[in-house]
Chain A
Amino acid sequence: MTDSIDSIDQERLRQQDHQAFEALVSQLHRPMVSVARAIVGDSLAEEVVQEAWVSAYRNLPKFEGRSSVKTWLFTIVSNEAKSRLRKEKRLVALEDFNPEGSGDYLGPDRFYRFGGHWKVPPPDWHLDSPDQLLEEKHLQKCIDHTVSILPPQQRAVFILRDIEQQALAEICNILEVTESYVRVLLHRARMKLMQVIDRYQETGEC
């Protein structure tokens, strides 16, 4: 297991220690790109994140630790992205305001129209614990690929909540969306990933 964010010494970060900063970049660069993509779209995200890192680095000596480093960085990238959005006078990521459903996974074909009972019930899983799933290397690749092609807001919410364990209220602030919307996006992301696991259990393939 590699170092977690919590193990990075905040005092060293405040002193702009390169090694500590690199550890931070290693762990949070990709989640930050996901946040930026959800706000400004693919084309500007990378640039926004680079600006956010420069801004974070400059401001490290002023970091007071009132929030976690993670939350502080997600807020910086979110503000950077929103400010870029205003400058560009564009509305990006609107596709997510009409997000795909839970894929077809929980679509109308899955339930009887009247009564709402399962028409296609959940299949049996032979790998039925997180530990067993974690041992499947090919499944990990399938999951990584599916995460990478989730719609930007779904991906950002999934990463912020399930991977980075940010509170719902923080996610709402970072992405400027309502809590109920965050919950919908999170469930949809999980359903898409669960669909991958279903298929893997059945066929051994993605």
Chain B
Amino acid sequence: MLNCRDVAHEASDYLDQNLSWWRRLLFRLHLFVCAKCRKFVAHVHITRDFLRRRGPLRASDQEIEQVMQNVKPSAPDQS
């Protein structure tokens, strides 16, 4: 049987489906009897989905310009 500490440390692996079937079964059994861990895993789930949906941070105009300037010497003449 897993304890709450185990569940907290393996919550990402559970949600990302990286646990073995046996470990997953033990995990689910623990969740069945433990409301605190159910809440914790729900929070990890919300956090993961929230972070994924925020999307990437875009480069600033300055960063883009710097890359384009470095690239230009090797760029073909587009005129």
Contacts and interface: CB of A to CB of B under 8 A. Distances in A.
Interface string B1-35: 00111101101110010100000000000000000
Interface residues of B, number: 43
B64 A122 contact: no
Contact of A140 (B54, B58, B67, B68): B54
A111 B4 contact: yes
Given A117-B3, A129-B46, A190 B51 contact: yes
Contacts of B44: 190, 194
Chain A, interface residues (CB within 8 Å), range: 35 or more
Contacts of B54: 134, 140, 143, 163
Interface string A163-191: 11100100000000000000100110010
A43 interface: no
A22 B43 contact: no
B36 A121 contact: yes
A119 to B, nearest CB: 9
A65 interface: no
A178 to B, nearest CB: 13
A134 B51 contact: no
Nearest to B38: A122
Contacts of A186: 12, 16
Contacts of A64: none
A116 B56 contact: no
Contacts of A199: none
Interface in B47-79: 47-59, 63-64, 66-68, 70-71, 74-76, 78
Contacts of A165: 52
User: Looking at B50, B74, B75, which has the most chain A CB atoms within 10 Å of its CB?
Assistant: B50
A193 to B, nearest CB: 6
A50 B67 contact: yes
A63 interface: no
B60 to A, nearest CB: 9
A16 B75 CA distance: 8
A100 to B, nearest CB: 14
B13 A26 contact: no
10 contacts: A53-B70, A57-B71, A106-B9, A128-B42, A129-B46, A130-B49, A130-B50, A133-B46, A159-B56, A186-B16
User: Closest 5 CB pairs between A and B?
Assistant: A116-B3, A116-B5, A29-B59, A187-B12, A130-B50
